[in-house]
Structure 1
């Protein structure tokens, strides 16, 4: 040791400095080489992560369209006339809702019916077999067509599904066209500062679509494999490897020669045989490496200080890029909280590492689309942020959550006692109601919440989320219950509801719904003054399905609006028949459900039906429940005013069982108030006093009163004594078919 120290002392200072410099330069060069390799790998990792992100976006977009097409196929196959105007109208509406160019049906004889003209005209395509080869072989497919032959426009993506009859034989093809530019918008991301681009191809290498920044190749061929081999023969072995991976449905990264050296990540899209390619020039990585080497020489001159500065700069840039990538992938752009992808990552960690009991909660907002339609997307996004903040403030450290999409939030809460879940949910509901009171005028923000308590830590996220969704669906669009727990029999109940929903649609198509008419009588003169139309569902065997069984489900799934329209036209048609017979036309009231108040466009449709049957607004009355007015007061006022200005009478149904205020009833300015049967049945002194009070309220604000469910002479005499205007009930007449009601005219 002493000898070594002695030798070092003999070395001049300049020698020591040179040795130190050589040592530093060597360390820096070794480190730089190692760093360049790491940097290259990081870029390749980022390429893979970006490809994954692109994949998830494009997969989600195409999968949503494919799933919708499958759902459409399920009901189109059962339709006697697949291209009926009603079917094509539905398909046209769906096409607009999900941003498709068109939806169409192809028959085996190559006739094509499309939503462009609602199936009124067929189009003949002689090369159907080329573009729908898989569907003709009983498979779903996604194909690119360079020219839309239906309207002679540009390139389109065609998604097709075979349609079969009950014997499993091909009866046609359901297809949807998706504008290439629309899908391209999802692919046009800022990949590696705009230098990278994406391509979607099939397993044969045929290009379907490219992002806007993709290089244009001087080739008439649309095949990726062929073009890469043609441009540079050195790509042949690489392309063969890529073909093998594609055939085996594998992912990979290759380096190939185009006009310059490039890196390409290829991944199966998970739909049909499609692959997504993400491409970046190799010089992006090389340029970074060259900059690093120049910095290395500078560091050699500047020694350790310059080295420290450069290294800190590199570390900072890496962290910034990582944060940027995490922001893209893991931050929800609307709320600023976790994205759903980040939620899933955190969920996996917490599922194993947290020993407390766990519950999965799904929360969404009823009729959220209505908020966007009325108040605009800015207000809609404010509501989403408010709800996110409410969940955040109440959940604190007791769980994780994220907005999944639209107005749907996924929440995992940790608890020791189930009361903690109820306390959390009740507080969230209460706070959401405050959002309504403070900022949203008279519009109520109503959540639907489904809760599933995990039985163990090994349950799959898809399954527990499905359980929570099932629970939330049981109380969707109800205004007296805001949350529900999953229980074992719930799945069978959901299936039963689905079967009933299908039966309702079938009943509408088969015209199995018929109106019954319950007459209304002037309380003093006992003369008939009109009737209420009540829906009856008569099955083929002559039996009836109780409205109590199907009306709540129709309201829950949104079919009630179609039933309303069906009944309106049925009543108008019957009024017209009586009118042509020379019978007296008395006003008949029909229900106007909550769904109709979402869109005033129904008024034009109803007026057209009224004109079709040569009737006037005075011949039809609309009944709106008190509960509907309470939940949708702002919209209700506008639509009711429009209907009254057109000449329709408005009746407030079920008065006394809802939540409305007297001032609201006054502002609605309805024509008649229908006293609910529960008041009429209460013959106690207190009950009679309340009924009398309701009649007097109507008198004060200038409305007539209609007593529903009057069944006894005592009830009738009491109502007559207290100046009730109109009587409806079994005491005078029960609901009856049109032929029996006709005798009263």
Structure 2
């Protein structure tokens, strides 16, 4: 009974302390929230300003790159007649880059423009500076030619081959484009941006900028007129606009405070500098903080009420709950070993100890669950845990996180001595395939070295990032974090996130590189090559996204997309009565690891009712090296009627003897072999290789042919067809069709 009476007293003490603490923190929480919201707004302000500056820098850089490219072409023309002819061909660039006009001004000040205006511009500042060898962008001008509107003039000098100035090339840029870039909504459209020069003159403003700012024409005049308290802010802004580093500040206006962030654009010249000013009113803070403060206060009141009712029950049951939670919190229910929470506790007690975090999982583990059942998958994970335990030493730790993910902390001398241990561990895991009669197990490990164990999740995350270096390659089991390119990882993540929408929206385009008869010059076929055109018009190189998609598995979907698209295009040509040529399609090494790959491609081909000879498949030489089933796959493709080409032959993995086992129909000689032409020993090597391959009954395609000397040599070798820039670069669909009509030989 005495013990029972003690319970309410404990509850009252705890409740009293809780109430005091809660009430005392209300004011502190309110001020802290306001401070955090202020910091958040300022951080967002910096991000928005930086993003606007990046977009403007890109716009300006692209425009100047175009002008420099055109200037080089005009400089090569040499005389006025040729220059006039070239400038007459610039209308397509005006449309593409959305200029109002492009023009060339002769040294006498006479101008030739794409829209046909001819006048004397010898007094214009951009012309005078251009004739002095100076590029530049003008402040905002009012265009009096054609439709009156605000403009900015991009200009650069044009040099002839002797480095003499031939004149000035300029492009008239609609100021409206700057306004559109600056008009990206921010802070619920309460924030606005403007582009100013180093003197504070306004170049352009976002569409929601105050009318008083637009009328002032100078940001200094606008701030000066806004409030009498702005003497100090004006001096601060003047310092900002006289430098080149990003900076933030504030000023007063309309009865409230405004915050701004200034970011300098790239210097055109030392005496010219533009800045992006992103401005947000103080009322954004109250808009954001007031609802939060109200919710916090309501939440605190609710906590007080709940605490009053729950404290008694909590005190009564806390000991029992602790014992139960301790049993459940640190033991993994599947393996019976440590879970991640237990691992973190252990690591925190060993903070300062040097060692290696290892993130381990099994590539394509879901295949085991799908083909053998969940029970077999669980049995596999238990065996993985046993192998991990047998490979760790005293003072090292491990845990099962979830699914097929495990974490280890290993102590070793350095990366070189740790590598063999990881290789041994991975080999033991690979042996599970035979022991458990399951699909091939391929473990992957990412390794991060540290002595700081206060943030275990972050350390594990870095180890996981390292694992992406080997994910999907099947050439190595482990990689270290210090091998990572963090910027590339960020770019890869953006491409991964955009893949599904890009595929759905038709951003992936097929280009065709013709294969030509070296003797007659007739087209014999083509190779389909993938290109990624983003919504903003930029083209991503296959070298950027193909290796990434090979690692994350998206390449199989992309392979099937290319194959299906080629089949669809061949069907259209057939229905239109056009001559059909074989269009070869690349199939990646990753796709070849799937046992149903042949059936999948047969199914796609069958849906279009095409003869497989019109869609031959190209397999890279490297894909045949690490795939033990490649010979069987080749036979299955042949049985399905497909023609097979061995791509990149001679790129570094060649084994002539293996060709007796892998029966390819065509061998594509890699550019590295073609480049031997002109070297006596290299030509002998090419001669013997082609004679051997032809004796096997294989046809020969030469890749990367760029010179007439190479073409003549390959003719003498009786090479069947040629692919390379000598005849044609990869072409988009319409240009390829035009090339085919021109070189049909019919």
- Given the two structures, how large is their TM-score scaled by the length of structure 2? 0.50
Using the size of structure 1 for normalisation, the TM-score is: 0.50
